[in-house]
Amino acid sequence: MRNARRLFIVPLLAAGTLNAQAVPAGAPAPPAAVAVRRPPPSLGLVPVGLGIGAVALLSVVDEPLRDALQDHRTAGGDDLARAVKHFGEPVAYLPVVLGTVAVGLVAGKPAVTRAGGRMAGSLLVAGLVTNLIKPVVGRRRPNGGQGAYDFSPLGGQDSWPSGHTTMAFALAASVSDEVNSLPVTVVLYGAATLTAWSRVNDNRHWLSDVVTGAAIGVVSAKVINGRLRVFGVGGPRFLLEPGRLGIAATF
Protein backbone atom coordinates (compact mmCIF):
# COMPACT_ATOMS: atom_id res chain seq x y z
CA MET A 1 0.00 0.00 0.00
CA ARG A 2 2.93 2.40 0.60
CA ASN A 3 3.95 2.03 -3.02
CA ALA A 4 0.37 2.67 -4.10
CA ARG A 5 0.19 5.83 -2.01
CA ARG A 6 3.40 7.12 -3.56
CA LEU A 7 1.87 6.46 -6.96
CA PHE A 8 -1.12 8.61 -6.08
CA ILE A 9 1.09 11.56 -5.08
CA VAL A 10 2.29 11.98 -8.66
CA PRO A 11 -1.00 13.19 -10.13
CA LEU A 12 -1.64 15.31 -7.06
CA LEU A 13 1.67 17.10 -7.52
CA ALA A 14 1.03 17.32 -11.24
CA ALA A 15 -2.32 18.96 -10.66
CA GLY A 16 -0.55 21.85 -8.98
CA THR A 17 1.42 22.59 -12.17
CA LEU A 18 -1.60 23.16 -14.39
CA ASN A 19 -1.12 25.64 -17.17
CA ALA A 20 -3.19 28.48 -15.77
CA GLN A 21 -2.04 31.71 -17.39
CA ALA A 22 -1.94 34.45 -14.79
CA VAL A 23 -1.28 38.15 -15.44
CA PRO A 24 1.07 39.72 -12.83
CA ALA A 25 -0.39 42.47 -10.66
CA GLY A 26 -0.13 45.85 -12.34
CA ALA A 27 0.83 44.43 -15.71
CA PRO A 28 -1.17 45.62 -18.71
CA ALA A 29 -3.67 43.17 -20.09
CA PRO A 30 -2.57 41.47 -23.31
CA PRO A 31 -4.28 42.70 -26.46
CA ALA A 32 -7.36 40.80 -27.50
CA ALA A 33 -6.74 38.37 -30.33
CA VAL A 34 -9.32 37.21 -32.77
CA ALA A 35 -8.95 33.49 -33.39
CA VAL A 36 -11.07 31.15 -35.40
CA ARG A 37 -11.73 28.03 -33.37
CA ARG A 38 -12.00 24.87 -35.37
CA PRO A 39 -14.18 22.13 -33.97
CA PRO A 40 -12.25 19.09 -32.73
CA PRO A 41 -12.34 15.88 -34.77
CA SER A 42 -15.40 13.70 -34.29
CA LEU A 43 -15.65 9.92 -33.99
CA GLY A 44 -18.55 8.71 -36.09
CA LEU A 45 -20.14 5.36 -36.72
CA VAL A 46 -17.31 4.03 -38.90
CA PRO A 47 -14.37 4.57 -36.49
CA VAL A 48 -16.44 3.40 -33.53
CA GLY A 49 -17.42 0.28 -35.47
CA LEU A 50 -13.81 -0.34 -36.46
CA GLY A 51 -12.77 -0.05 -32.84
CA ILE A 52 -15.36 -2.60 -31.76
CA GLY A 53 -14.23 -4.88 -34.56
CA ALA A 54 -10.61 -4.58 -33.46
CA VAL A 55 -11.58 -5.58 -29.91
CA ALA A 56 -13.49 -8.56 -31.29
CA LEU A 57 -10.39 -9.69 -33.18
CA LEU A 58 -8.25 -9.16 -30.09
CA SER A 59 -10.54 -11.45 -28.10
CA VAL A 60 -9.08 -14.41 -30.04
CA VAL A 61 -6.04 -14.27 -27.74
CA ASP A 62 -8.04 -13.79 -24.54
CA GLU A 63 -7.99 -17.44 -23.47
CA PRO A 64 -4.39 -18.27 -24.50
CA LEU A 65 -3.11 -15.17 -22.70
CA ARG A 66 -5.19 -15.94 -19.60
CA ASP A 67 -3.83 -19.48 -19.46
CA ALA A 68 -0.23 -18.35 -19.95
CA LEU A 69 -0.42 -15.67 -17.27
CA GLN A 70 -2.10 -17.93 -14.74
CA ASP A 71 0.48 -20.67 -15.34
CA HIS A 72 3.28 -18.23 -14.54
CA ARG A 73 1.83 -16.16 -11.70
CA THR A 74 4.23 -15.25 -8.90
CA ALA A 75 3.81 -13.94 -5.36
CA GLY A 76 5.77 -10.81 -6.28
CA GLY A 77 3.54 -10.17 -9.26
CA ASP A 78 0.43 -10.58 -7.14
CA ASP A 79 1.79 -8.09 -4.58
CA LEU A 80 2.43 -5.55 -7.33
CA ALA A 81 -1.03 -6.14 -8.79
CA ARG A 82 -2.67 -5.50 -5.41
CA ALA A 83 -0.86 -2.18 -5.14
CA VAL A 84 -1.32 -0.78 -8.63
CA LYS A 85 -4.99 -1.72 -9.03
CA HIS A 86 -5.86 1.10 -6.61
CA PHE A 87 -4.95 3.62 -9.31
CA GLY A 88 -8.34 2.83 -10.80
CA GLU A 89 -10.25 3.30 -7.54
CA PRO A 90 -11.71 6.34 -5.73
CA VAL A 91 -8.78 6.36 -3.29
CA ALA A 92 -6.64 7.56 -6.21
CA TYR A 93 -8.81 9.77 -8.36
CA LEU A 94 -10.99 11.54 -5.77
CA PRO A 95 -8.02 13.26 -4.04
CA VAL A 96 -6.72 14.42 -7.42
CA VAL A 97 -10.04 15.91 -8.50
CA LEU A 98 -10.99 17.45 -5.17
CA GLY A 99 -7.44 18.68 -4.59
CA THR A 100 -7.33 20.43 -7.96
CA VAL A 101 -10.69 22.13 -7.41
CA ALA A 102 -9.63 23.18 -3.90
CA VAL A 103 -6.34 24.65 -5.14
CA GLY A 104 -8.21 26.64 -7.76
CA LEU A 105 -10.72 28.02 -5.28
CA VAL A 106 -8.20 28.86 -2.57
CA ALA A 107 -5.72 30.43 -5.00
CA GLY A 108 -8.47 32.29 -6.83
CA LYS A 109 -7.62 30.69 -10.18
CA PRO A 110 -10.79 29.83 -12.11
CA ALA A 111 -8.77 28.09 -14.82
CA VAL A 112 -7.49 25.56 -12.30
CA THR A 113 -10.97 25.10 -10.87
CA ARG A 114 -12.33 24.41 -14.36
CA ALA A 115 -9.51 21.92 -14.86
CA GLY A 116 -10.68 20.07 -11.76
CA GLY A 117 -14.20 20.15 -13.16
CA ARG A 118 -12.97 18.61 -16.41
CA MET A 119 -11.20 15.85 -14.50
CA ALA A 120 -14.39 15.12 -12.59
CA GLY A 121 -16.43 15.18 -15.80
CA SER A 122 -14.02 12.78 -17.52
CA LEU A 123 -14.25 10.26 -14.69
CA LEU A 124 -18.02 10.64 -14.43
CA VAL A 125 -18.60 10.04 -18.14
CA ALA A 126 -16.16 7.12 -18.23
CA GLY A 127 -17.80 5.51 -15.22
CA LEU A 128 -21.33 5.97 -16.55
CA VAL A 129 -20.50 4.52 -19.97
CA THR A 130 -18.75 1.51 -18.46
CA ASN A 131 -21.48 0.74 -15.97
CA LEU A 132 -24.16 1.04 -18.63
CA ILE A 133 -22.37 -1.40 -20.94
CA LYS A 134 -21.40 -4.01 -18.34
CA PRO A 135 -24.86 -5.42 -17.46
CA VAL A 136 -26.17 -5.18 -21.02
CA VAL A 137 -23.29 -7.23 -22.47
CA GLY A 138 -23.12 -9.60 -19.50
CA ARG A 139 -19.71 -11.14 -20.18
CA ARG A 140 -18.54 -13.72 -17.66
CA ARG A 141 -15.24 -13.10 -15.89
CA PRO A 142 -12.31 -15.43 -16.62
CA ASN A 143 -12.28 -16.74 -13.04
CA GLY A 144 -15.80 -18.06 -13.59
CA GLY A 145 -14.45 -21.17 -15.25
CA GLN A 146 -16.09 -20.45 -18.62
CA GLY A 147 -14.62 -19.43 -21.95
CA ALA A 148 -14.00 -15.95 -23.31
CA TYR A 149 -17.22 -16.03 -25.31
CA ASP A 150 -19.62 -16.83 -22.51
CA PHE A 151 -22.20 -14.04 -22.34
CA SER A 152 -25.39 -13.65 -20.33
CA PRO A 153 -26.96 -10.25 -21.19
CA LEU A 154 -28.69 -8.74 -18.15
CA GLY A 155 -27.70 -11.87 -16.25
CA GLY A 156 -25.52 -10.21 -13.62
CA GLN A 157 -22.16 -10.77 -15.34
CA ASP A 158 -19.94 -7.70 -15.68
CA SER A 159 -16.53 -8.48 -17.12
CA TRP A 160 -16.60 -6.27 -20.25
CA PRO A 161 -15.26 -3.63 -20.07
CA SER A 162 -12.91 -3.37 -17.07
CA GLY A 163 -14.05 -0.64 -14.69
CA HIS A 164 -10.68 -0.27 -12.95
CA THR A 165 -8.94 0.17 -16.29
CA THR A 166 -11.53 2.65 -17.53
CA MET A 167 -11.11 4.91 -14.51
CA ALA A 168 -7.32 4.61 -14.47
CA PHE A 169 -7.02 5.71 -18.10
CA ALA A 170 -9.63 8.44 -17.69
CA LEU A 171 -7.56 9.84 -14.82
CA ALA A 172 -4.30 9.50 -16.75
CA ALA A 173 -5.64 11.14 -19.91
CA SER A 174 -7.41 13.94 -18.08
CA VAL A 175 -4.51 14.96 -15.84
CA SER A 176 -2.00 14.52 -18.64
CA ASP A 177 -3.92 16.87 -20.93
CA GLU A 178 -4.16 19.50 -18.21
CA VAL A 179 -0.51 19.36 -17.14
CA ASN A 180 0.98 18.98 -20.63
CA SER A 181 4.24 17.47 -19.40
CA LEU A 182 5.88 14.48 -21.08
CA PRO A 183 7.37 12.97 -17.89
CA VAL A 184 4.04 13.25 -16.08
CA THR A 185 2.25 11.75 -19.07
CA VAL A 186 4.62 8.77 -19.14
CA VAL A 187 4.15 8.15 -15.40
CA LEU A 188 0.36 8.47 -15.53
CA TYR A 189 -0.14 6.24 -18.56
CA GLY A 190 2.40 3.79 -17.16
CA ALA A 191 0.41 3.56 -13.92
CA ALA A 192 -2.83 3.08 -15.87
CA THR A 193 -1.23 0.31 -17.95
CA LEU A 194 -0.08 -1.45 -14.79
CA THR A 195 -3.63 -1.22 -13.48
CA ALA A 196 -4.88 -2.91 -16.64
CA TRP A 197 -2.21 -5.61 -16.30
CA SER A 198 -3.20 -6.22 -12.67
CA ARG A 199 -6.77 -7.05 -13.66
CA VAL A 200 -5.59 -9.66 -16.16
CA ASN A 201 -2.96 -11.00 -13.76
CA ASP A 202 -5.59 -11.42 -11.04
CA ASN A 203 -7.78 -13.36 -13.49
CA ARG A 204 -10.54 -10.80 -13.07
CA HIS A 205 -10.62 -9.62 -16.67
CA TRP A 206 -9.80 -10.70 -20.19
CA LEU A 207 -7.31 -8.75 -22.30
CA SER A 208 -10.11 -7.38 -24.49
CA ASP A 209 -11.88 -6.15 -21.32
CA VAL A 210 -8.97 -3.94 -20.30
CA VAL A 211 -8.26 -2.71 -23.83
CA THR A 212 -11.89 -1.61 -24.17
CA GLY A 213 -11.76 0.05 -20.74
CA ALA A 214 -8.61 1.96 -21.70
CA ALA A 215 -10.27 3.23 -24.89
CA ILE A 216 -13.39 4.37 -23.04
CA GLY A 217 -11.33 6.16 -20.41
CA VAL A 218 -9.13 8.03 -22.90
CA VAL A 219 -12.01 8.97 -25.22
CA SER A 220 -14.10 10.22 -22.28
CA ALA A 221 -11.28 12.48 -21.14
CA LYS A 222 -10.61 13.80 -24.64
CA VAL A 223 -14.29 14.62 -25.14
CA ILE A 224 -14.62 16.48 -21.83
CA ASN A 225 -11.32 18.30 -22.48
CA GLY A 226 -12.66 19.55 -25.81
CA ARG A 227 -10.12 17.64 -27.90
CA LEU A 228 -12.53 15.13 -29.41
CA ARG A 229 -16.21 14.65 -30.18
CA VAL A 230 -18.24 11.44 -30.44
CA PHE A 231 -21.13 11.50 -32.91
CA GLY A 232 -20.79 15.27 -32.93
CA VAL A 233 -21.10 15.63 -29.15
CA GLY A 234 -18.29 17.48 -27.40
CA GLY A 235 -17.36 18.74 -23.97
CA PRO A 236 -19.56 21.19 -22.02
CA ARG A 237 -18.79 24.83 -22.75
CA PHE A 238 -18.86 25.94 -19.13
CA LEU A 239 -15.80 23.72 -18.49
CA LEU A 240 -13.97 24.81 -21.62
CA GLU A 241 -14.61 28.54 -21.93
CA PRO A 242 -13.95 31.18 -19.24
CA GLY A 243 -17.00 33.05 -18.05
CA ARG A 244 -19.53 30.37 -18.95
CA LEU A 245 -21.97 30.09 -16.03
CA GLY A 246 -19.25 30.91 -13.49
CA ILE A 247 -17.16 28.73 -11.21
CA ALA A 248 -20.13 27.18 -9.45
CA ALA A 249 -21.09 25.38 -12.65
CA THR A 250 -18.05 23.13 -12.36
CA PHE A 251 -19.65 21.29 -9.51
Boundaries of every domain in the chain: 42-241
Residue 9 pLDDT exceeds 60: no
- At 181-204, the pLDDT tens digits run 999 999 999 999 999 999 999 999
Residue 11: predicted pLDDT: 43
Strand, coil or helix: 144: helix
Q: State whether the Cα torsion 213-168-112-15 is positive or negative.
A: negative
Distance of CA 75 to the CA centre of its chain: 28
Q: Which pLDDT does position 92 carry in this prediction?
A: 96
Cα distance from N-terminal residue to C-terminal residue, the chain: 30
Domain covering 42-241: architecture? Up-down Bundle (1.20)
Q: What would the pLDDT profile of 101-158 be if each residue is shown by its tens digit? A: 999 999 999 999 999 999 999 999 999 999 999 999 999 999 988 899 999 999 999 9
Assess whether pLDDT exceeds 60 at residue 246: no
Q: How far is CA 71 from CA 68, 76, 202, 203, in A?
A: 5, 14, 12, 11
CA 65 – CA 62 distance, rounded (Å): 5
> pLDDT tens for residues 205-231?
999 999 999 999 999 999 999 999 999
Q: Tens of pLDDT along 32-82?
A: 544 556 789 999 999 999 999 999 999 999 999 999 999 999 999 999 999
Cα–Cα separations (whole angstroms), residue 115 to 68, 197, 245: 42, 29, 15
Residues 6+ apart with CB under 8 A from 88: 163, 164, 165, 166, 167, 168, 171, 192, 195
Hey, which residues does 151 pair with through a beta bridge? 139
pTM (2 d.p.): 0.83
